[in-house]
Amino acid sequence: MLNILDELPAGFLEAPARALYRLLDGPTLIHLPGRRAEPLFVSLLLHGNEDSGLKAIQQVLSRHGGKRLPRALSVFVGNVAAAREGLRRLDGQPDYNRVWPGCAPQGLPEERMMAQVLAEMRARRVFASLDIHNNTGFNPHYACVNRLDQRFFHLATLFSRTAVYFTRPLGVQAMAFAELCPAVTVECGKAGKDAADRHAAAFAEAALHLDHFPGHPVARSDLDLYHTVAIVKMPETVHFAFGQGEADIVFEAGLDRLNFNELAVGTRFGQVAPGCPLPLQAWDDEGREVAADYFEVCAGQLLTRRRVMPAMLTCDGQVIRQDCLCYLMERLRYEG
C-alpha cells in the first residue's frame, strides 16, 4: 500500500488536498535530499480533512525554489482517499493516527504500512519528527509530546509555548517516532485558516534549519505544560445535540469555547433528558472508566464536579463519533 518516491510529483506544490489522488496512488512517502543527511520527517493528512500540513510543506518547498534544502526531508502523505472527500477518514477505514507501532494490533494492512514507514525512517537515521494536524473546535495552537524530555520540549517550543503531554491514545505517529528521535504533534487550529498554514510552515522551516538540540533545559518561563488525564467519548446509544433539539444530552452551543480554560466545579456542559443517566464516558491513562470522577448530573444539568481544563472540545458530531468529545487536562508542574 505504501508508495515511496525520491522526488516530488509534478503539480504537488499547487495541488489542494482534495486533488492529491490525481498525483499519488494512495499513502506516499517522499524523500528529498538536503545538506544535512539525517532527515526531518513530516507527516500530514493522517486525517484527510486537516490540510495545514500539506499547505505548510508546499509553502516551505516553494520558498526554497528547488534549491537544496538545509536538511534532508521525508514527507509522509497519509489518507489521500479521505482527503479526496474532505473527511477525517472514510467509513471502513481505521484512523490513520491510531495504527502506528505501539497500537493494540488488529492485523490491519494500515498497521503494516505504518511499520514500514517507521522502519524506512529508522534506516535513514531520522533527526526529528513533526506530525501536523488541525482540529474542529476553538483551540489555541499548541504542541503535544509523549515524553518528558528536554529535546522534545525544545522542538515543541519552536511551535508554541503551550505543550500537552499525553500517553493515550495508543498507536499515534509521534509516540511511534519517539523511539527514534524527538517527535511532536502540533495542533494548528481549524483547517482553512491562512494563519494556521503559515504557522505550520514557519515551524517546519525552523525545524529544517536545526543543527542539533540544545543541551540546556527549556526555561520555565517559556513552557506552559499540561497533562491529559482522560479522554471523553459519547456512547453510541446516547443521542446528543448542540444548542437545542430533542436528545439525551443537549450540549451548550459554543461548548468548544471552554477549551484551554480552567473550569470551576459546577461548570455547565448541557441539559440532560429526564431519567437519562450520566450521558458520556471518560477513560484515564490506565483504561479505567472515570466519567463520574469528572462529571455529574444535577437537577437535569450536566456539570463538572472537579476543576479541570478541556482541550479539543468540538461541536462537530461526526468527529465526536469517529474520535471523541474532548480531552481533559491538568497543569503539569515544570521546573525547567
Instruction: Report the DSSP beta bridge partners of residue 224.
Output: 162
pLDDT in tens, 16-51: 999 999 999 999 999 999 999 999 999 999 999 999
Question: 302 is in which domain, residue-wise?
Answer: 228-331
Q: Is 116 helix (H, G, I), strand (E, B) or coil?
A: helix
The pLDDT score that the predictor gives to residue 319 is 95
Query: Looking at residues 66-73, what average pLDDT do you find?
Result: 96
* Residue 66 pLDDT > 90: no
215 and 272 in a single domain? The answer is no
Peptide bond just before 310 cis, omega within 30 deg: no
Q: What is the pLDDT of residues 270-319, one digit of tens each?
A: 999 999 999 999 999 999 999 999 999 999 999 999 999 999 999 999 99
Tell whether 7 and 138 lie within a shared domain: yes
Rg (the chain; Cα; Å): 20
Instruction: Name the band, by pLDDT with cuts 50, 70 and 90, for residue 1.
Output: confident
First-to-final CA distance of the chain: 43
Residue 28 bridge partners (DSSP): 3, 77
> Residues of the chain with pLDDT > 90: what percent?
99
Check whether 241 has a pLDDT greater than 90: yes
Would the pLDDT of 336 be above 90?
Answer: no
pLDDT 10s digits, 102-157: 999 999 999 999 999 999 999 999 999 999 999 999 999 999 999 999 999 999 99
**Judgement on whether residues 289 and 189 belong to the same structural domain of the protein:** no
Last residue of a domain, which of 166, 200, 222? 222
The answer as to whether 11 is a domain residue is yes
Residues 58 and 120 in one domain: yes
CATH number of the CATH domain containing 150: 3.40.630.10
Total count of domains within the chain: 2
29 shares its domain with 144: yes
How much is the mean pLDDT over the chain? 97
**Alpha carbons 29 and 121: distance in angstroms, whole number:** 10
Q: What would the DSSP string read from start to end of 252-308? A: PTTGGGGTT--BPTT-EEEEEPTT-----EEE-TTS-B-HHHHEEEETTEEEE-S-B
196 burial level (CB within 10 Å; 0-12, 13-18, 19+):
buried
Q: Is residue 336 part of a domain?
A: no
Whether 191 and 270 map to the same domain: the answer is no
Query: What's the whole-number mean pLDDT along residues 173-182?
Result: 98
Judgement on whether residues 169 and 250 belong to the same structural domain of the protein: no
Is residue 152 domain-shared with residue 171, that is, in the same domain?
A: yes
Strand partners, 128: 40
